[in-house]
A and B are shown apart, each in its own frame.
Chain A
Amino acid sequence: MHCLEVNDLVHRYRNGDVVLDGVTLRIPAGSIYGFLGPNGAGKTTTLRLILGLIALQHGAISIFGLQLAAHRIDILRRVGSLIESPSLYDHLTATENLALLQAVHRVDEAKIGDVLDLVGLAGTHRKKVGEFSLGMKQRLAIAVALLHEPELLILDEPTNGLDPNGIVEMRALLTRLNRERGLTIVISSHLLAEIERLATHVGIIHRGRVLFEGTLDELQRRRRTHVALATNDDERAIALLARQSIAATIADGRIVMPAMPNTAIAQVNRRLVDAGLDVHELHTAGDDLEAIFMNLVSN
């Protein structure tokens, strides 16, 4: 079942630029969905539409099988979110910030301590949020999003401002929440490396269009592999390979050949050595995910 379905969103801001151009997303229940795209791709705009923060101009959004337009309040009861910068009251402490929402969500007061523990902010006591570091604010914002035990968590670049340690902790926290509570998490980022270690599913958006959507494995399968070769005389090597109808080219100071089975690689090696060439390097290489991402985005 899909926890969140977005169909054919088109959005233009007042200045007339179309920033979303037919965005369709399927976010499976129980997944960690990495929503990837470079700056200005339309991630925040999409997430704002999903939360009803900007009016829907075209398309449809359904969450938990309910239409957003008709059931916004019921849906929001079950959603936690963090969009762009944290929304916190600087003149109040962490506990006071949470107490505001505890009243509205009508959850037990003990939950405040629980979520503060969860994000590692239990020791801030009387310190006002205005005196927090950016990373601390970001953590508190996550605590705010988790206070009412949502089923869907929408996080827009939540690792903004976190140190490497904080990023690792956040990742561990999100993975745990997903495993233990079955929480569906949508997390946007412009860094594939960040999503790769966390997400089960990925959607890639660029200039308002979705370029890829699927599991992380499916994305991995898009890796294009090739065989790299370096010899003491690359031109002669290419000529030799051409005679066996292997299309080889030179890139980055090496010979690059299409992917081939290991037996074929061994044969290439034998031929080259028999012809008196020194083989310095011969191995299979592949694009990493970053390259796939860059490829998708640059085409």
Chain B
Amino acid sequence: MTLDFPMVLRCEWLKRRRSFAGWLVLGGALFTPAIIIAVRLVQHAKLPALYANPAFWPSLWRSAWESMAMLLLPIAAILATSLVAQIEFRNNAWKQVRTLPLHPATIYAAKLAVILVLIGQLLALFSVGIWLAAAVPWLFVAGVPWPSDMLSPSFVFAQNARYFVDCLPIVAAQYAIALHSRNYLVPLGAGFVAWIGALGLLQWKYAFVFPYTYTMLDYLGGEPAGKVTVPAIGTAPYALGYAALFAVAGYVLFATKRQKG
């Protein structure tokens, strides 16, 4: 199984070519930066003062991440997972995949890895987008200074890693559902309901028991006002625990599915 994995991963990665996956990553990553750029170009008179602020980068980072943590990252995880599973359902290809000389665990892990790579791409591109959100108005509006104290690469990496871990339970749960349902509305519907549920639970003291809340809790927990309760040990242990649980449950469902194609 371990020997097959790189080959199977390559195979799974090739499948997503020319699918909606590329647009999903591009759109998800650049949507918010594009809006920031547009707004700032319109309000260009305020830019010199804004760019001279020593807290320019942290405040840009936070405002860009709001939509990402609350909306785009959970939704992207839901969509990317459904997409990867639907590639097989839509093309009647499960019976082909399941008759390859491969252990089901290899197939399961390779597809999951593709989803995680897509999420990784989304986050990396989003960081580039945030940089562009600063650079583009600076280029086009005269008299704006280049903001000082750029965020350190280690900060950017740590933040990305944290949100990546936060969305793992969503990926794992959605993956389990998506592999099991021929009808793509099932994982999408379940995902949206869970996302809305997470939004509704945020104010609750124990919101962190609900596995879809972590990207939001992590973001809102950073507010000085502290409107939400983040567990003392942070969201990561919960996120990893739920992700492992869902991944194992999903695998059991996948490996024991009655009609494999």
Contacts and interface: CB of A to CB of B under 8 A. Distances in A.
Contact of B14 (A48, A99, A106): A99
Given A53-B259, A54-B259, A55-B258, A104 B100 contact: yes
A87 B97 CA distance: 9
A91 B87 CA distance: 9
Contact of B11 (A53, A55, A74, A100): A100
Interface stretch (A75-83, A259-267, A273-281): A75-83
Interface string B83-106: 000010011111111111111000
A100 B15 contact: yes
Given A51-B99, A76-B99, A79-B99, A103 B11 contact: yes
Contact of B10 (A79, A83, A86, A103): A103
B179 to A, nearest CB: 15
B7 interface: yes
A14 B97 CA distance: 23
A96 interface: yes
Interface in A51-66: 51-55
B99 A103 contact: no
Interface in A76-111: 76-77, 79, 81, 83-92, 96, 99-101, 103-106
A100 B100 CA distance: 11
B181 interface: no
A155 interface: no
B93 A73 contact: no
Contact of A81 (B8, B14, B18, B99): B99
A89 B260 contact: no
Given A103-B7, A104-B7, A104-B8, A52 B18 contact: no
A197 B49 CA distance: 86
Contacts of A192: none
Given A73-B101, A104-B8, 19 more contacts: A14-B258, A52-B98, A52-B260, A54-B259, A73-B103, A76-B101, A87-B92, A89-B91, A92-B15, A100-B14, A103-B7, A103-B10, A103-B14, A104-B101, A105-B100, A105-B101, A106-B7, A128-B18, A144-B96
22 contacts: A14-B258, A51-B99, A52-B99, A53-B261, A54-B260, A84-B92, A87-B91, A87-B92, A87-B93, A87-B97, A88-B91, A89-B15, A89-B87, A91-B17, A91-B19, A92-B15, A92-B18, A100-B11, A100-B14, A104-B8, A104-B101, A128-B18
